[in-house]
Each structure stands twice: as C-alpha cells, then as structure tokens.
C-alpha cells in the first residue's frame, strides 16, 4: 500500500469537531504554510506533530500516522522486550562461558 496524506480524512475529522486547519497547526506548533505542505504530501510530519493531531482529533497516534502517510515507529514496549531478551541471551552465554573457564 502506498503511503500518502489522506487530506479528505483529516478534513472530515476536523469538520466533525468544528475545527479548522489553523487549530490543527497550532496544536502541533506548526505554521499554516507548513501544515499546507503536509496536506500536499510535500512535507513529512514528526511523531510529536502526529501525536498532537491524534489528541486533537480523538484518534490513536497510529491512526493519525497512517492517514498522514507516515509509517509508525516501532512500539517502544515491543522494542524494549526484544532488547531485554537479547541482553538476557548474552548474559546466559557469558555465564556459560565463565562456567567452562572455571571448570
């Protein structure tokens, strides 16, 4: 699936809440020209901007990112769990090596 900014979806969400693009830009600490570039797929959005959009529109950050044509970053919990598992495996390998050296 190609990623693109879903302008119609964002405009519909804003309309449902009686909000304007100016409000969307303001909550994300953007100027309206930068927001317009994002709506035209000519500017990438940061994760903090997408999080602000999501909060204002009452959707998840993942939904806001998807509709903005941005791949979501890895889930921090999942990444943490993978790192812990990797570190635990390394510790187990080091303990086994130490046990062999001591024997």
Residue-wise pLDDT for 62-86, tens only, equals 899 999 998 766 555 556 677 788 8
pTM of the model: 0.67
Of the options 3.40.50.300, 1.10.260.40, 3.30.420.40, 3.40.50.1220, the CATH number for the domain spanning 7-72: 1.10.260.40
The CA distance from 70 to 2, in Å, is 10
Higher pLDDT, 91 or 57: 57
The CA distance from 92 to 100, in Å, is 12
Domain regions of the chain by residue span: 7-72, 74-103
């Amino acid at each position: 699936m190609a990623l693109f900014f879903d302008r119609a979806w964002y405009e519909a969400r804003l309309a449902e809440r009686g909000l304007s693009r100016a409000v969307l830009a303001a909550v994300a600490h953007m100027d309206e020209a930068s927001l317009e570039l994002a709506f035209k797929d000519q500017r990438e959005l940061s994760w903090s901007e997408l999080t602000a959009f999501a909060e204002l529109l009452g959707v998840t950050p993942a939904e806001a990112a998807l509709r903005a044509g941005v791949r979501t970053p890895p889930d921090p919990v999942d990444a943490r769990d993978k790192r812990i598992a990797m570190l635990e495996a390394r510790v187990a390998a080091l303990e086994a090596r130490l046990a062999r050296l001591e024997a």
